[in-house]
Chain A
Amino acid sequence: MIPIIIVLFLFTPLAAIADGEGIVVFQEGDGIDAELEQRASSAVDIALHQQGVENRVSIVQNGAVDSAAILMQSGTGNRIRVEQQSVQASLMRMSQGGEHNTLIAAATGTSIELELIQDGSDNHTQVVAVGHDISFQANQSGNGNELIADQLGSGVHASVSQFGNGNLIEVVQNADGAGITVYQTANGVRTTITQN
């Protein structure tokens, strides 16, 4: 699992838009904000790379089909919030490196994949997914990390991995055909999985 995490984290989001369509953002510095919004019926992508501390990203993708939001932050005290609204066959891939970072992913629609990576300690990931055939994969490496997720709909699936001490996992799945796989290796971890 660890080699997979490293490969994903080294992925450069700015190379994701190879066909010259979408939004590409690179920001380097402290206390910076990015607010991105896409409203489209066709395939559109967002790629963002932020470096620094206390940075913020807010993204909304609405109505897109076969689209992707690919984001990477490195630094401390950063925050990413992504909403994919009414999307189909879309991808959300986010990675954060550093401490005290927050990652919030919200998705509604059909056939959505979420890939969430945090490398560092005292980080927080929150997932809210509503729809059909939505799956998320979350990987956290470090101590004192938290993952909180709510899935509502049908055919939902989650795969969560944590490496470190004092980590927390809380997942609620209100769905038909729900599934979850949890992998934790460390001391003092807490896990609560609820399927209704």
Chain B
Amino acid sequence: MTFKKTQLIVSIIATMTCSGSYAGNVIDSNQTGTNVTGTFSQMTTTDNSIVVSQDGSDMTATITQSNGSGSSASLIQTGNGNSSITDQQGTGQTVTLTQNGSNDQISTESVGDGHSINAAQEGANNVMDLDQLGGSDNAIDVTIQGGSDNAIYVYQQNGTSASSITISQIDTSNVIGINQDGSTNVSLNIDQQGSSNGADMVQTASDSSMVLTQGGDVNIAGLTQSGGVSGSAMTADQSGDTNMMALTQDGGQGNTMTATQGGQANNMELTQTSAVDSSMLAEQSADVAGSYITGTQLAGDANAMMLYQVNGTAQSMIAASQSEGTAALIDVRQTNCASCTVTATQTH
């Protein structure tokens, strides 16, 4: 029996703690084996770093950096059934997390201003839970999540401003859930490529943006900007067949939503409630047979609705409704259409 095999059988618990009011400290750890636990802490620190590598299965890494600034943590886990827990507080901390394998989990939380979370997973049945609480100028960047049946949950909450979330996910049966709750000027950019994926995005901040791109079939997306936001925009694009998207803006002034779909049997629902001087633009193009667009503007003035089905539409439908508002416009267009229907209702 070699030394390496012994490592795989025997459980290892490694605990390394470095604490104190110091700067420029470094923790560098490499662990291999099964059922390994590593705990790494830097308390009241500035410009410190933690670098952890775990190679094996059922491994756990816990990283804590608190009450400092400009520190960084980096974790690479390779194997199945691994998990990481990261907690950063202070200002301008950075964490980079990478997992290669299946049934892995990432859980990270940062509190304060100027934090950055970079996370990547490759494999199946993985989960990410990324939280940034409070502060401003924070960023979350999930570069690639390749594999199926993966889930990403992201929360930027409690007064977040000038912050961003960027996520790229590849493969099938993946889900993304995002809640970005801030005061102003936040951005959200999601790219999902593959089939049977789902994305649910909620944003409550003015002068903000939300962008979703989905490529593939049987995808579903929900985009919501609520809480009376103003000057905000949402953009959604789906390419493929049998996709569905629902865009909702609740309240505010000067908001815009833009939705595009290319393919057959797609469905989009756009709703603006109690909005003023806002607009929605929806376009289904290419061969969009059997597709639906539903636009609703309820209880707002000076709103505009543009709903278009362009080229190759057959048995498609557009339904437009405006009520309880004045100075409103409905603009509906269907071209190259066979057995198509438009219904439009305007009530002032």
Q: A residues engaging B (CB < 8 A)?
A: 17, 20-42, 44, 52
Contacts and interface: CB of A to CB of B under 8 A. Distances in A.
Interface stretch (B108-116, B152-160, B170-178, B325-333): B325-333
Contacts of B329: 17, 20-24
B339 A24 contact: no
Contacts of B313: 29
Contact of A20 (B327, B336, B340, B344): B327
A32 B327 contact: no
A21 B340 CA distance: 25
A190 B338 CA distance: 38
B333 A26 contact: yes
B346 A23 contact: yes
B20 to A, nearest CB: 66
B6 interface: no
A38 B321 CA distance: 10
A27 B342 contact: yes
Contacts of A35: 341-344
A32 B332 CA distance: 13
B344 A32 contact: no
B150 interface: no
B89 to A, nearest CB: 51
A33 B344 contact: no
Given A24-B332, A26-B333, A39 B346 contact: yes
B337 interface: yes
Contacts of A52: 337
A29 B336 contact: yes
B304 interface: yes
A24 B331 contact: yes
B338 A31 contact: yes
Contacts of B335: 26-29
B328 to A, nearest CB: 6
Contact of B341 (A28, A33, A40): A33
A22 B348 contact: no
B334 interface: yes
A127 B219 CA distance: 49
B337 A42 contact: no
B338 A32 contact: yes
B21 interface: no
Given A23-B329, A27-B340, A33-B340, 17 more contacts: A21-B328, A22-B346, A26-B334, A27-B333, A27-B335, A28-B335, A29-B336, A31-B338, A32-B340, A34-B342, A35-B342, A36-B344, A37-B344, A37-B346, A38-B345, A39-B346, A40-B348
Contacts of B334: 26-29, 32
Contacts of B337: 27-30, 32, 52
Contacts of B338: 29-32
Residue among A17, A28, A35 with max Cβ neighbours from chain B (10 Å):
A28
B347 interface: yes
Contacts of B339: 30-32
A34 B330 CA distance: 13
A42 B322 CA distance: 14
25 contacts: A17-B329, A21-B327, A22-B329, A22-B346, A23-B332, A23-B344, A23-B346, A25-B333, A26-B332, A26-B334, A27-B337, A27-B342, A28-B337, A29-B335, A29-B336, A30-B337, A30-B339, A32-B338, A32-B340, A33-B342, A34-B341, A37-B344, A40-B348, A41-B348, A52-B337
